[in-house]
Amino acid sequence: MKTISIGTIFTILASAAHGAECIDAKAAKAGFILERPGIHSEFRPAAGGMVSVANEYQSQSPQTQFLFGGLIEVFRDSETGQLAMIPFSDLRKLFPLKAGAKSKTVFVRLAANKQPKGTETLEFNVKGKETFSLGDCKYNVLAVTQTIKNEAGKTQDEFTALYAPDLQAVLARRYDEGTNAESVVGYEVIKPLPN
């Protein structure tokens, strides 16, 4: 009869526990946590295709977001105020996202005690599929370029979201893509919500 050392048992248990940290599509329905230095985000599915994200920052006040499909911000609340992005078209028609898909959504940004400065346009371009690693966990993501333009057509913001459809979450953002200044800002850890 073979005996197994205590060290081997701990190694097996540790690797099994570590493997359990990877969240799949089924587990994502119960919510999960994404983290990187300075930010802790708790993702929870909500009614109507929304995902509620509670962000805790090291250097800022907490913030709650509601993201349609986990990708399109429609509401934000923090100590600095509330912000709503009201689309003029049905966001449900954008999903499920597929490589090569392009879309434009006109919306108005509303904040308390401020008149909107005009409409804005959110342009999507799903460039393709990639793999993104969160620790030992690997996820299939779609590279979705998002460009926000003001009413005059001037670009206000542009980045590529690395979006995991199984999780309904953006795992990272790529800025200045294709230039010498290209950078990726992303989460580094995924784990289940505590019970």
In a domain, 71, yes or no: yes
In a domain, 110, yes or no: yes
In a domain, 9, yes or no: no
Q: Is the pLDDT of residue 9 over 60?
A: no
In a domain, 50, yes or no: yes
Angle (CA) 74 75 76, round 5°: 140
Both tokens of residue 101?
Answer: 């898909």
Q: d(Cα 123, Cα 104) in Å, to the nearest integer?
A: 4
pLDDT single digits (tens) 115-162: 998 999 999 999 999 999 998 999 999 999 999 999 999 999 999 999
In a domain, 5, yes or no: no
Cβ–Cβ under 8 Å, residues 135 and 189: yes
Query: The whole model's pTM is what?
Result: 0.86
Confidence of residue 59 (pLDDT cuts 50, 70, 90): confident
Q: Is the pLDDT of residue 18 over 50?
A: no
How many structural domains does the chain have? 1
- Domain of 154 in residue numbering reads as 27-192
The pLDDT value given to residue 80: 85
pLDDT single digits (tens) 29-45: 999 999 999 999 999 99
Q: d(Cα 92, Cα 57) in Å, to the nearest integer?
A: 30
- At residue 26, the 3 state secondary structure works out as helix
DSSP string, 110-163: EETTB---SEEEEEEEEEEEEEEEETTEEEEEEEEEEEEE-TTS-EEEEEEEEE
The pLDDT value given to residue 121: 97
CATH code of the domain in which 91 resides: 2.40.360.10
